[in-house]
Amino acid sequence: MFKPYKSLPPLVLPEELENRREEFLRYLHSARENIRNFASGYCWDNLAEEEFFDQVMIFDDKKKYNTALLKLVEADCNLELPDTYCAALEKRILMAVTPEYYARVYPEGIEERSYEKLFTHEIAHRLHIRILNGDEEAMGPIWFFEGFAIFAADQFSQSKLILSKDEMTDLMRDPQRGSYVKYNYIFRYFVSKIPLPDLVFKAKQDNFSEDLIWLLEN
């Protein structure tokens, strides 16, 4: 039986957000249920039973979020993180900025239940790693592992965007982080052609993207 949201791991809030505790707990509970339902759909139920995080921290100050995250991953605290880098799940600590900040800096991502989906997306990365027995290097190219999390979180499912085969090819070959809305289109395109579990386990192959691009061209 799934735990009720009252039994979620500790939630750390700044004093200014304490009056919204129940709101954030609802987001977290829904995100956890989203992942469990997604996993169940692909017979990965057992991989979603154990909790994915031990603590949640919400920040109403992006600079404080950046500093806390960089310290957590033992990175240079002087690094500048993009404004749109609004959530992360590292070392079993889930961190995020407020829904208001997220909506302001990433209007492209705002849709129904978008903040709940933001949490779901971050948890989905950890599910992906569990599916691969902890091998993060096997998650595939950036378009694919971000596409997996987008798909699992049901982000951009109502997007009307259509990409040409040339546009898809360019994005799949680009090692730099690109548009998540476009990754969504590419990922959903291939999931409609090839079973998701097959894609997940083939993504570690060096020629993974090129093999899929060949399918596009033939």
pLDDT digit string, tens, across residues 130-142 = 999 999 999 999 9
Average pLDDT over residues 151-179: 96
Give SS3 for 19.
helix
What percent of the chain shows pLDDT beyond 90?
93
Q: Which CATH architecture group holds 9-131?
A: 3-Layer(aba) Sandwich (3.40)
pLDDT tier for residue 6 given thresholds of 50, 70 and 90: low
The helix-helix angle for 142-152 and 21-41 (nearest 10°) equals 110
pLDDT digit string, tens, across residues 72-97 = 999 999 999 999 999 999 999 999 99
pLDDT digit string, tens, across residues 176-193 = 999 999 999 999 999 999
The structural domains of the chain, with segments of one domain joined by +, span 9-131, 136-218
Strand partners, 88: 95
pLDDT tier for residue 7 given thresholds of 50, 70 and 90: confident
* pLDDT score of 2 more than 60: no
The DSSP letter of residue 11 is E
Q: How far apart are the C-alpha atoms of 37 and 41, rounded to whole Å?
A: 6
pLDDT digit string, tens, across residues 19-56 = 999 999 999 999 999 999 999 999 999 999 999 999 99
Average pLDDT over residues 106-126: 96
